[in-house]
Chains A and B, each alone.
Chain A
Amino acid sequence: MADELDRATLSRCRRGDAQAFRALVEHYQDRVFALCLALAGSEAEDLTQETFVRVHGAVGGFDPDGPARLGAWILTIARRLCTDRARAVGRRPTVALDVVPLGDGRPGADTELDRARRARALHQAIAALPEEQRAVVALQLWDGLEYEEIAAIERVPVGTVRSRLARAKDALKRALGVDDEERNGTHR
């Protein structure tokens, strides 16, 4: 489970503290960006910024003792924005692979090129998935949400989340040849 912003900082955010809100943005920006990238491709950065603008206007009404964790609440906002944008634009999002920073970013290692190659191939494979599968992949594997939280965001039963995730993984395995590597023992 992904860690959450501490309650003290959240309280300050809700009172309009700018420094606390910056801390909130920095805490959740990677998760929001990952979801937006999976769903909206090249518009991910703009949508991430817009998500936090919306969060800024609504965080005063967020109930820290309510059923949703802050992270799931923020990602719900991001998900809706991405859906609205895709509907407004009316086209399938494209993934801007060349601008995506990967992993921990440390240069120099021999594995770095290989990792970048794999990541690029993976993003291409994710971009080829249907939208609902891209969403569950991002929410579960990149954002660390529970199945129940994903089901709430996607407004589908938990079983549907599981099946969408399974189908997505199968497709990605096929696209990346992971099964072959596993059988051949070449996966690192």
Chain B
Amino acid sequence: MEPIDELIRAAAPRAPRGLADAVERRLGARRRTQRGFVAAGVLVAAAAMLVLWLVRPTAPVPRPSAWIAVSARATTADGKPVAAGQPLTAGALVRVGDGGIALLERAVAIASAGAHAQVMLGSQSEARVGDGAIELLSGQARLEGPEARVTGDVAEVTTLGASAAATVDLRRNPMIKASLPKTAALAALLSVAVLDGGARVAAKGHAPILLAKNDRTLVAPKLPPLTTRAPAARPAAKPVAKPAPTPAPAPTPTANARPTATATGQLDKDVIRTAVQDHLPELRTCYDRVLARSPKLAGKLVVRMTLVTKDGQSTVSEAEIQPTDDGDLDSIPMQTCVLQAVSQWRFPPSADGGDVVVSYPFLFATADDGE
């Protein structure tokens, strides 16, 4: 062993006296702290449970609505069978099974009409009971009486007149979305047909439209309402153009713009015609797409557009399909596709900055039709 080793070993420090006691005290303090933490944890947990119990969501108290079920077959409300004469609670989810039917009546009559509004839900329909209106979630409903009202996520439909009657059909069809990629919003499509009296249709984001007897309209999200007027309800100023001769048959389906469009307002017809001609390929695409499913589809569509001038250009604020004497092109996907395309068109500004109403006929025919 070296002398330095001996020197270092001789100077080895020793622990202070009472170190073992200090360790025991520290261990005891730590145990107490741990017990304190456990106790505090238990207290916090108990307090949290108490708070949760105090603020627990209470079950909503059923609130009666203005609606009663006059008759019901294969119908449930919030999962429970609905009996005839049963009042319905607000917010109740009404489901009509296959082959079933439910006639709901608003208990409060419209004073001016002295009649009750009724909503009849058809087979496989689903609706939620509101205070003043029935929210149609899917399926068909028939509205009768004054101010029978059905709402949905695309529009609100209200009948007008004591003897008014209308049907409402809300379809949620993923096939529409698949077949029309540009109209993805069409996963929900609301169709309204007025059987008697009148109806007011307020599509979200658009001005309300009034429908007369035998008018019908289609409403889809992000699109203007697609309205077809009944001949009797057509305005006097219907398109003046007589059907022009169909141009020479094309080897492919064609969308023929008719040069006999009408326009009211300060916008030259030639300007309108030129702008429409630029967009004809879009309509041809619509037609081609529909022909893939219905090869013999052909006919005429008269589109009525309201152009609003703003920021140096005219845009389409409203568009609808007008009825024709010689038969519409009866295809909802086609009409919807055309309307969607038209709603995106841009025109030069009107001369006086005012609105311009344009009625423009389009004839859709395949080459075979023309031969």
Contacts and interface: CB of A to CB of B under 8 A. Distances in A.
Contacts of A178: 3-4, 7
Interface string A139-172: 0011000000000000000000000000001001
Given A53-B30, A141-B8, A29 B15 contact: yes
Contacts of B5: 141, 169
B26 A49 contact: yes
A53 B16 contact: no
B14 interface: yes
On chain B, which size bracket covers the interface?
Answer: 20 to 34
A30 B2 CA distance: 23
Q: B7, B12, B13, B14 — which one has the most chain A CB atoms within 10 A of its CB? A: B13
B9 A141 contact: yes
A86 interface: no
Contacts of A122: 7-8, 11
Nearest to A22: B20
A131 interface: no
Given A25-B19, A48-B19, A101-B16, A118 B26 contact: no
B4 A53 contact: no
Contacts of B9: 141-142
Contact of B7 (A32, A105, A176): A176
A34 B24 contact: no
B15 A56 contact: no
Contact of B8 (A50, A52, A115, A172): A172
Contacts of B10: 103, 115, 118-119
B22 interface: yes
A58 interface: no
Contacts of B15: 29-30, 32-33, 45, 48
Contacts of B44: none
Contact of A142 (B12, B19, B20): B12
A44 B30 CA distance: 20
A18 to B, nearest CB: 8
A172 B27 CA distance: 38
Contacts of A26: 20
A41 to B, nearest CB: 11
Interface in A50-69: 50, 52-53, 56
A172 B3 CA distance: 11
A46 B8 CA distance: 23
A75 interface: no
B13 A100 contact: yes
Given A169-B2, A187-B3, A30 B23 contact: no
A137 interface: yes
Contact of A102 (B13, B22, B27): B13
B19 A45 contact: yes
A142 B16 contact: no
Contacts of B3: 178, 181-182, 187
A178 B10 CA distance: 14
Contacts of A32: 15
A33 B13 contact: yes
Interface in B1-58: 2-5, 7-16, 19-20, 22-24, 26-27, 30
Contacts of A53: 23, 26-27, 30
B19 A29 contact: yes
Contacts of B30: 53
Interface string A111-122: 000010011001
A49 B22 contact: yes
23 contacts: A18-B24, A22-B24, A25-B19, A25-B23, A29-B15, A33-B16, A33-B19, A34-B13, A45-B19, A48-B15, A49-B26, A99-B16, A102-B11, A103-B10, A118-B11, A137-B8, A141-B5, A142-B9, A169-B4, A169-B5, A176-B7, A178-B4, A182-B3
Interface of A: 18, 22, 25-26, 29-30, 32-34, 37, 44-45, 48-50, 52-53, 56, 99-103, 105, 115, 118-119, 122-123, 126, 137, 141-142, 169, 172-173, 176, 178, 181-182, 187
Given A49-B26, A50-B26, A178-B7, 17 more contacts: A18-B24, A25-B19, A25-B20, A25-B23, A30-B12, A32-B15, A33-B14, A37-B13, A48-B19, A100-B13, A102-B14, A103-B10, A103-B12, A119-B11, A123-B11, A123-B13, A141-B8
